[in-house]
């Protein structure tokens, strides 16, 4: 009788979990998700730098294995110190802390995961650690004492859940600050190399990826994009070549350079999106993969794309190293890889040289004017460009303080280059966000400022799709839907891959009474960005409701509820849709949740943005059937 051989090995096991994750998500899920993704990315790099391997990522928890218990503890110390430094500017209620448990034990190895009591003990040690602290088993303590500049306090024998024998535990003292310096990393100061790397990668990589696809495959004329119905089905490959650009890894010694790698990734996606014969997944979705172990073929299937672009950036002395590779998602084969090593002398001339070289190498026949339009950066100031990248990172945090700092950075970019159109567009978004998130004392004035800044950007560059998108959403706020649709149509002409413009034009069509056209635009937005903001689902569910597709409206809201369970609008739409579909019990349940979330809810106040009287009447009818007043 054949017996399956079980692989076992002695492993140092690290288990980390976020403190108060549910509370943080309830307070601000967008910001919490961003910080979690950023933290997991850094933690993954630290684990790899210490010779470990991430074995499992489950929500806000991470499990890793190390061949060396000393390196495992050194890594845990680095993780906690990095998180502590990042928490310095956060208010007490928004601090992002982890507990870490370390054990040394014999584990079962099954492909890329580990199992056994040793793993369970590590998880229990984590649960009794202090927020921001590390708790280790006696077996770990016996191996590391005297080998690291750390102190330890015995916690005695701890009876922990689901472990029969008591566990002898030790608390690691992370103070004084000098402790553990032998394992820490030296922080590097922010330098002039950031804009250098961005300029090189933003041109060379975009050109290389786009041109390679053209060179390997004959392109048919631009084809329509198959929308995702309800966002539930596995997406099919588009007719045109499709690509997802995964977040570039920051291989520099300073984790603070992450914002820069993220900014470069965003620029690559934006520039690739302007190629009309490409289908490009939105950055909002690809950044959900940041900091996670990635299987390229799985990414290809999940996003419905043929190609996946991966890359990394590292400063080394007087040089910038950029590694990039393009992978066929179906087969996993590497189609092309490039290692770029460049200095900073006469950088913009170097950009032109790189583009010309790549185009010549690929023997690509792309119209020169079109290529110039796609590659245009809008400024010759490297420092201004860097301020814009930093501003975008701050703005993405979606907090009042970060948004204010982003405004300052965009203004500095404008001071350096008053003709830098993108800086005006980014500043316009800051003003718009103060209205969206309720941070402005004068919303009407903030919208006026956003409008004027977008107009300024268009006066500098008439083909700036981002400026047209800003105008579109401002006009939606002003309920000037025809002007909104006009500007958003132009935005999509300039960037046919922009998921946010599809969402915005879908909302404008929805509110203007064009519900069927709205469903098509919003389904297309989901195809480009399968992980959108909640308002995309809300708009789509309302569009389904208004065309009588009540089951689709319900399914869309249920899908969105799994992501953001505490938005009252979900339950409002569910109440109306269930009522119209004849689901009396479900309609009553949803109506009760509306009352709980918003005791002052009034039917007549919901739907006032809809221009068509028939649409407002339809929504009110469903809500009253559900028992709301």
Above 60 in pLDDT, residue 420?
A: yes
Per the CB < 8 A criterion, the answer to whether 581 and 601 are in contact is no
Say whether both 162 and 202 belong to one domain: no
Give me 124's structure tokens.
Answer: 């229990």
**3-class SS letters over 400-460:** HHHHHHHHHHHHHHHHHCCCCHHHHHHHHHHHHHHHHCCCCCCHHHHHHHHHHHHHHHHHH
Domain with residue 558: its CATH number is 1.25.40.10
Are residues 297 and 199 located together in one domain of the fold? Answer: yes
Predicted confidence at residue 354, as pLDDT, reads 34
As a whole number of angstroms, the distance between CA 86 and CA 43 comes to 13
Same domain, 199 and 133: no
Lowest mean pLDDT among 295-299, 312-316, 381-385, 555-559: 312-316
59 & 123 share domain: yes
Provide the domain count of the chain: 3
Q: Looking at the domain assignment, is residue 226 inside a domain?
A: yes
Task: Looking at the structure, tell me whether residues 197 and 168 fall in a common domain.
Answer: no
Query: Is residue 611 domain-resident?
Result: yes
Whether residues 159 and 266 share a domain: the answer is no
Task: Identify which of 570, 541, 544, 539 has the alpha carbon closest to the alpha carbon of residue 556.
Answer: 541
Domain membership of residue 608 (yes or no) is yes
Q: Give domain status of residue 617, yes or no.
A: yes
Q: What is the pLDDT of residue 579?
A: 95
Q: Are residues 147 and 247 in the same domain?
A: no
pLDDT of 320: 63
What is the arithmetic mean of pLDDT over 455-484?
Answer: 93
Closest CA to 625 of 585, 593, 596: 585
The helix or strand, by DSSP H or E, that contains position 502, with its residue range, turns out to be helix 499-511
> How far is residue 499's CA from residue 514's CA, in Å, rounded to a whole number?
19
Residue 606 lies in a domain: yes
pLDDT at 207 over 70: no
Q: What is the mean pLDDT of residues 298-322?
A: 76
Q: 77 and 217: one domain?
A: no
In a domain, 313, yes or no: yes
Domain of 221 in residue numbering reads as 193-376
Alpha-carbon dihedral angle through residues 137, 143, 149, 150, given to the nearest 10 degrees: 10
> Which CATH number do you get for residue 274?
3.40.50.10610
142 shares a domain with 203: no
Give me the helices (H) in 241-346, please: 258-273, 283-286, 296-303
Q: State whether 160 and 26 are in the same domain.
A: yes
pLDDT at 85 over 70: yes
pTM recorded for the entire structure: 0.52
**CB-CB contact of 590 with 580 (8 Å):** no
Rounded to whole angstroms, the Cα distance separating 162 from 115 reads 15
CATH number for the domain including 88?
3.30.70.1230
Which domain-ending residue is among 328, 357, 376?
376
Does 515 fall in a domain? Answer: no
> Tell me: the pLDDT tens digits for 512-536?
999 999 999 999 888 888 878 888 9
Asked if pLDDT for residue 224 goes beyond 80, the answer is no
Indicate if the pLDDT at residue 208 is higher than 50.
Answer: no
**Listed range (61-75, 253-267, 286-300, 392-406) with the worst mean pLDDT:** 253-267
**Residue that is last in its domain, among 353, 376, 399:** 376
The domain boundary residue, chosen from 342, 376, 410: 376
Residue 597 has pLDDT above 80, yes or no: yes
> Mean of the pLDDT values across residues 289-302?
83
Residue 182 resides in a domain: no
Average pLDDT, stretch 69-95? 87
**pLDDT per position as a tens digit, 167-206:** 888 888 876 433 333 333 333 333 333 443 444 344 444 4
Residues 131 and 247 in one domain: no
Give the whole-number percent of the chain exceeding pLDDT 90: 31
Mean pLDDT in the chain?
Answer: 78
Mean pLDDT of 50-57: 86
Please indicate, yes or no, whether residues 152 and 218 belong to a single structural domain of this protein. Answer: no
């Amino acid at each position: 009788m054949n017996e399956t051989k079980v692989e076992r090995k002695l492993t140092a096991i690290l288990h980390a979990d976020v403190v108060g994750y549910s509370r943080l998500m309830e307070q601000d899920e967008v910001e919490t998700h961003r910080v979690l993704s950023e933290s997991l990315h850094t933690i993954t790099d630290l684990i790899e730098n210490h010779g470990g391997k991430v074995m499992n990522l489950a929500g806000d928890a991470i499990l890793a294995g190390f061949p060396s218990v000393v390196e495992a503890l050194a890594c845990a110390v680095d993780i906690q110190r990095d998180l502590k430094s990042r928490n310095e500017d956060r208010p007490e209620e928004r601090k992002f802390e982890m507990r870490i448990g370390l054990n040394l034990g014999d584990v079962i190895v099954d492909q890329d995961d580990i199992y056994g009591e040793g793993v369970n003990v590590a998880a229990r040690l984590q649960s009794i650690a202090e927020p921001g602290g590390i708790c280790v088993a006696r077996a770990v303590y016996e191996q590391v004492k005297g080998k690291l500049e750390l102190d330890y306090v015995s916690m005695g024998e701890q009876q922990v859940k689901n472990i029969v024998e008591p566990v002898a535990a030790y608390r690691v003292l992370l103070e004084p600050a000098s402790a553990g310096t032998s394992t820490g990393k030296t922080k590097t100061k922010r330098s002039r190399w950031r804009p250098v790397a961005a300029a090189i990668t933003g041109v060379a990589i975009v050109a290389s990826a786009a041109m390679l696809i053209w060179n390997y495959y004959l392109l048919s004329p631009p084809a329509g994009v198959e929308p995702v119905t309800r966002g539930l089905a596995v997406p099919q490959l588009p007719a045109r070549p499709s690509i997802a650009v995964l977040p570039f890894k920051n291989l520099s010694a300073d984790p603070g350079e992450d914002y820069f790698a993220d900014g470069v990734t965003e620029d690559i996606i934006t520039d690739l999106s302007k190629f009309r014969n490409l289908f490009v997944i939105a950055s909002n979705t690809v950044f959900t993969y940041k900091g996670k172990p990635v299987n390229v073929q799985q990414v290809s299937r999940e996003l419905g794309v043929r190609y996946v672009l991966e890359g990394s950036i590292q400063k080394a002395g007087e040089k910038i190293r950029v590694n990039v590779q393009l992978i066929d998602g179906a087969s996993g084969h590497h189609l092309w890889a490039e290692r770029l090593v460049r200095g900073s002398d006469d950088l913009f001339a170097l950009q032109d040289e790189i583009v010309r070289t790549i185009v010549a190498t690929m023997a690509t026949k792309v119209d020169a004017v079109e290529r110039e339009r796609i590659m245009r950066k809008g400024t010759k100031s490297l420092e201004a460009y860097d301020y814009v990248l930093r501003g975008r990172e701050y703005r993405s945090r979606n907090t009042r303080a970060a948004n204010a700092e982003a405004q300052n950075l965009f203004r500095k970019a404008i001071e350096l280059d008053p003709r830098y159109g993108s800086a005006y567009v980014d500043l316009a978004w800051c003003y718009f966000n103060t209205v969206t998130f309720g941070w402005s004392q004068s919303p009407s004035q903030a919208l006026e400022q956003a409008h004027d800044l977008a107009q300024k950007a268009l006066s500098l560059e008439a083909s700036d799709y981002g400026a047209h998108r800003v105008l579109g959403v401002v006009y939606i706020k002003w309920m000037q839907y025809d002007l909104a649709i006009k500007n958003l149509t132009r935005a999509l002409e300039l960037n046919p891959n922009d998921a946010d413009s599809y969402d915005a034009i879908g909302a404008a069509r929805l509110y203007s009474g064009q519900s069927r056209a709205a469903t098509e635009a919003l389904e297309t937005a989901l195809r480009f960005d399968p992980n959108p903001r909640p308002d995309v689902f809300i708009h789509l569910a309302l569009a389904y409701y208004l065309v009588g597709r009540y089951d689709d409206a319900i399914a869309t809201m249920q899908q969105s509820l799994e992501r953001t369970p505490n938005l009252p609008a979900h339950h409002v739409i569910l109440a109306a849709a269930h009522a119209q579909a004849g689901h009396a019990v479900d309609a009553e349940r949803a109506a009760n949740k509306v009352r709980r979330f918003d005791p002052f809810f009034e039917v007549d106040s919901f739907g006032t943005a809809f221009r068509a009287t028939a649409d407002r009447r339809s929504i009110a009818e469903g809500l009253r059937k559900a028992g709301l007043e």
